[in-house]
Structure 1
Amino acid sequence: MYRKSRLLRLALAGLFSLVVSGASAQDADLNPDQNDRIRVEKVDAAIKLIPADYKFVTPGKLTVATNPGRLPFAAYASDTKTAIGSEPDLAQLVADSLGLQLELVPIAWADWPLGVTSGRFDAAVTNITVTEERKLKFDFSSYRNDLLGFYVPVASKITSISKPEDVAGLRVIVASGTNQEQILLRWIEANKAKGLAATDVQYYDDEAVLDVALQSGRADAYLGPNATSAYKSAKEKKTRLVGTFSGGWPQTAEIAVATKKGAGLADAVTAAVNEQIKNGNYAKVLARWNLSAEAVTQSRTNPPGLPKS
């Protein structure tokens, strides 16, 4: 029913994405030392919320999984081994607040659930959207709003994609297993019920191949996290935004720190984030990576998540 294109990954030695929302590549601090990273003092009120019987993966450290896939969320620094970006910065805020040393563990995004539930990581900070299904296995501490964006080639005749009817007849690229894919497929089903033209859904495992498909005319639009696409658009000037909406459409979606269900760590993390929101350090982290538009006014433990599919 939906065409799924799985292409071989290209051998792109030494290439990593420099895609931060709203700034030029030269503005991104790629130094592994990250001397400009926001550091904070410990928050006693948050530390007191850590259960007395909680055992950290490594005593004295907060071990956090993150996926160095693309900025502004996370990517490798110029040494190709140190994770940098807004997610590592947020993890640093939490670790500092809890009086712990941060231990970042680079992983593939799909590996965080097992890593957290098995106790390999204390937490995962890697652009994770809160869903009701995930809440069965994880506790969450929200820290950012989830926005999605439709991007098209600059020469495209498409001017707006804001509702299901707008994707009828289009060829749309989306990542498999994501919330945006679920939204797109729901839109397609709604259009089918109305007798509208079918949407060709395309999937690519490699970003370079995805770019070629979009620029060559094999696809009409790309749907993904707005933050990464916005920066890439500003940097390369090959695409433009034609629509944004919540990552939980029609509900509001939030990005959160994930910890093991029932471990008791979430309340401490939430308190840590709220203190940094209150004193302005949280805002500095988002501003550093041009994510201010996605800021929350309050962190919440286990906020309402996207409904089960």
Structure 2
Amino acid sequence: MTRLTPLRGLIAALTVALLPLSAAAVQPDFDLSPEQPGRIRGEKVQAAIDLLPKDYHWVTPGKLTVASVPNRLPFAVYATDTRTPVGGEPDLAQIIADSLGLELELVPLAWADWPLALQSGKVDAVIHNVTVTEERKEKFDFSTYRNDLLGFYVATGSPIGEITKRQDIAGLKGAVSSGTNQELILLRWIEENKADGLAATEVSYFDDESVLDLALESGRIDFYLGPNATSAFKARQDGKIRLVGTLSGGFPLTAEIAVATRKGSGLAEPVTAALNGQIANGTYAEVLEKWGLSAEAIEISQTNPPGLPKN
């Protein structure tokens, strides 16, 4: 196993420092204005509206107030006004609000703050890459909208056609982030391959994303295993990498991303119905396609499905 040297990290940091600092400059194909005039909109879903609890106390009547965590695309970043969240998750929030006949109010939060914000009534819902777990289900209700996937990515010109099982990584050089679930999966596969007498897999760890990208694109490593969403967005933007296989984020168990609402508030079922309405009419697929997330699409939204087990 290899790790990035300090010198290479310094070179990468200097390179990044020379790049444009504006989000709009590095994402020219996306409108990052706070007004979002071109945002995909959804139609009202009457079946979802009919399920709304009559006694629910909205944060602001007539609005769906949603917590968002502006930190990275395709999920969310701050718009050019530096205070409005924009991105794939705000777009999903918009079509859910449209389904329910409500205006959308986005509240930017730090990731660690979303549980308290939801429990305290500061927001009606949280829409930001939240995985369903059994522990979280004790305090929150969930309406699923995306599969939680890990993706194997290779350089666009790589001869590798697919990586879908452990035997496919034998003899290759790969990269993964340290201390992650995907690292555990990869190391387990390597040990199982070793037990079967298959060729070894060399694993590298990179502390700098730009150096990782260069290593993959130059052929120094053969593949990268990480969260599919961010790599899919990158692949959509520059075309230098491509997807060759996915795993559930909870492998070997299935993990799903969902809208979180307060436990017993009565919002989960109408939100689920809203999502299913937008899945049926194709608007949901448009949003995922826009942000390079089509590989994570689901066929039907579910309320409180089995979550990842407690540790």
- Kindly indicate whether the alpha-carbon contact (under 8 Å) linking 2:233 and 2:293 is maintained by their aligned counterparts in 1: no
- Quote the Cα distance in structure 2 between the aligned partners of 1:234 and 1:285: 14
- Quote the Cα distance in structure 2 between the aligned partners of 1:295 and 1:123: 20
Q: Tell me the CA shift for residue 219 of structure 1.
A: 7.6
Q: Tell me the CA shift for residue 39 of structure 1.
A: 2.6
AA aligned to 2:78 is Y
- Kindly indicate whether the alpha-carbon contact (under 8 Å) linking 2:97 and 2:104 is maintained by their aligned counterparts in 1: yes
Q: Tell me the CA shift for residue 126 of structure 1.
A: 0.8
AA aligned to 2:21 is G
Partner of 2:232: 230
Partner of 1:215: 214
Q: Secondary structure at the match of 1:149?
A: strand
RMSD, matched Cα:
3.8
Give the 3 Å change call, closer, same or farther, for CA 283–238 of structure 1 in structure 2: closer
- Report which stretch shifted further, 30-39 or 188-197: 188-197
Mapping 1:263-282, distance limit 5 Å: 263-282=265-284
- Kindly indicate whether the alpha-carbon contact (under 8 Å) linking 1:146 and 1:254 is maintained by their aligned counterparts in 2: yes
Q: Are 1:92 and 2:99 counterparts?
A: no
Cα offsets for 1:157-206 (capped at 9, x unmatched):
97764444638996633376xxxx224314424644776679767474xx
Q: Tell me the CA shift for residue 280 of structure 1.
A: 2.8
Provide TM-score, normalisation by structure 2.
0.76
Which has a greater percent of helix? 2
- Kindly indicate whether the alpha-carbon contact (under 8 Å) linking 1:153 and 1:215 is maintained by their aligned counterparts in 2: no
- Report which stretch shifted further, 127-136 or 189-198: 189-198
Q: Are 1:30 and 2:32 counterparts?
A: yes
* Largest Rg, 1 or 2: 2
Q: Tell me the CA shift for residue 98 of structure 1.
A: 2.0
Give the 3 Å change call, closer, same or farther, for CA 38–235 of structure 1 in structure 2: closer
- Quote the Cα distance in structure 1 between the aligned partners of 2:291 and 2:236: 14
Give the 3 Å change call, closer, same or farther, for CA 190–39 of structure 1 in structure 2: closer
- Kindly indicate whether the alpha-carbon contact (under 8 Å) linking 2:174 and 2:225 is maintained by their aligned counterparts in 1: no
Give the 3 Å change call, closer, same or farther, for CA 238–298 of structure 1 in structure 2: closer
Q: Indicate which of 108, 121, 143 corresponds to 2:145.
A: 143
- Quote the Cα distance in structure 2 between the aligned partners of 1:153 and 1:226: 15
Partner of 2:177: 174
- Kindly indicate whether the alpha-carbon contact (under 8 Å) linking 1:188 and 1:199 is maintained by their aligned counterparts in 2: no
AA aligned to 1:34 is Q
- Kindly indicate whether the alpha-carbon contact (under 8 Å) linking 2:146 and 2:258 is maintained by their aligned counterparts in 1: yes
Give the 3 Å change call, closer, same or farther, for CA 29–54 of structure 1 in structure 2: same
- Structure 1 stretches of 5 or more lacking a match? 20-24
Q: Secondary structure at the match of 1:27?
A: coil
Over the matched positions of the two proteins, sequence identity in percent amounts to 56
Q: Secondary structure at the match of 1:307?
A: coil
Q: Tell me the CA shift for residue 214 of structure 1.
A: 5.1
- Kindly indicate whether the alpha-carbon contact (under 8 Å) linking 1:149 and 1:241 is maintained by their aligned counterparts in 2: yes
- Quote the Cα distance in structure 2 between the aligned partners of 1:281 and 1:154: 29
AA aligned to 2:176 is I
- Kindly indicate whether the alpha-carbon contact (under 8 Å) linking 2:181 and 2:249 is maintained by their aligned counterparts in 1: no
AA aligned to 2:124 is D
- Quote the Cα distance in structure 2 between the aligned partners of 1:59 and 1:26: 36
Q: Secondary structure at the match of 1:140?
A: strand
- Report which stretch shifted further, 29-38 or 138-147: 29-38
Q: Are 1:185 and 2:179 counterparts?
A: no
Partner of 1:14: 21
Partner of 1:49: 51
Tell me the number of residue pairs that the alignment of Structure 1 and Structure 2 aligns: 296
AA aligned to 2:114 is W
Partner of 1:102: 104
Q: Are 1:261 and 2:268 counterparts?
A: no
Partner of 1:22: none
